[in-house]
Amino acid sequence: MIIGITGSFGAGKGAVVDFLTKTKKFKHYSASGYITEEIERRGLGVNRDSMTMVANELRNSFGPSHIIDILYERAKKSGGDVVIESLRAVAEVRRIKELGGVVLGIDAKPEIRFQRSMLRKSVKDNVSYEKWLSQEKTESNQDDSTKQNIFGALAESDHIITNNGTIENLQAQVDQFLEKYS
């Protein structure tokens, strides 16, 4: 099974990946990890702005589904069930579906997502609420398929989980998703 994960900042994508890898034995392939490799290769600092810039450049130079194609090739070599996270563009969601996968979207209220983002203490999230909202808006380009559009990607998901509750509630919703799509 191939699951692509998309969703808004701080919605719980990482928690879903942890659940799938630790309890369901999925192998994880990270778009952020691949983009970070490219940023470091270029000698740039790793932050949300550089991640957006480099991801958009890769999509523009090599095609809108380039990042997913690279991760899919890596996943194909290892076999088994895989989760690819995080899909940030509509073309990436569509590509996962073309490859026979299913796309799970994760969302939550903005205030909850911001609190979660601050708790994980990631260098890319060390910003004010206003800057965080601004970055989220920047990652929602609806007119260019080579750029990130997190809410467009979310809208194209096969299934969306609203994660405003507990981790146990989220895991129960993931189990329901797996029952429906496995």
pLDDT for residue 123: 52
More confident position, 78 or 137 = 78
The 10s digit of each residue's pLDDT in 112-144 is 999 888 887 665 557 788 887 887 777 676 677
Considering only CA atoms, which of 110, 120, 66, 115 is closest in space to residue 88? Answer: 66
Give me the domain span that covers residue 157. 2-181
Contacts of 23 (CB under 8 A, 6+ apart): 171
Contacts of 115 (CB under 8 A, 6+ apart): 10
The 10s digit of each residue's pLDDT in 42-59 is 999 998 889 989 998 999
pLDDT above 80 for 164? yes
Q: Please check whether residue 86 is in contact with residue 67, taking contact to mean a CB–CB distance below 8 angstroms.
A: no
Range 18-29 average pLDDT: 98
Q: How is residue 81 written in tokens?
A: 């069930």
Structural domains counted in the chain: 1
pLDDT for residue 99: 96
pLDDT above 90 for 103? yes
Q: Give Cα 54 to chain centroid, integer Å.
A: 15
Rounded to the nearest 5 degrees, what angle is found at the Cα of 161, between the Cα atoms of 128 and 171?
A: 100
Range 76-105 average pLDDT: 95
What's the CATH number where 41 sits?
A: 3.40.50.300
More confident position, 12 or 116 = 12
